[in-house]
Amino acid sequence: MTRLACPNCPNTRGKGQYLCQTCWGRLTPLARRLLSVRDAKAFARLRELHGQIAAHKPLDRIEISR
Ligand SMILES: [Zn+2]
């Protein structure tokens, strides 16, 4: 199974997952739900997530657009 680096911590994430299990669990339920939608804006939402991680925003404060 392919293991990739989590963008937020030294853990690894699975292929097709944005974060490792620990970090994913720290997002708000709303953020998790929005990030789980795979539509034309999915990549834009992923960029929002990465931008806020890069800005060192706490995971439970990250906000994703609808
Ligand atoms: Zn992580």
How many angstroms does the Cα of residue 59 sit away from the middle of ligand 1? 10
Q: What is the pLDDT of residues 2-43, one digit of tens each?
A: 789 999 999 999 998 999 999 999 999 999 999 999 999 999
Q: How far apart are CA 54 and CA 66, in angstroms?
A: 21
| Nearest alpha carbon to residue 61 among 31, 24, 37 | 31
Angle among Cα 28, 14, 65 to the nearest 5 degrees reads: 35
Q: How far apart are CA 44 and CA 12, in angstroms?
A: 22
Higher pLDDT, 66 or 48: 48
How many angstroms does the Cα of residue 66 sit away from the middle of ligand 1? 23
- If pLDDT is split at 50, 70 and 90, which confidence band does 1 have? low
| Nearest alpha carbon to residue 24 among 1, 38, 8 | 8
What pLDDT does residue 24 have?
98
Query: What are the structural domain ranges in the chain?
Result: 3-61
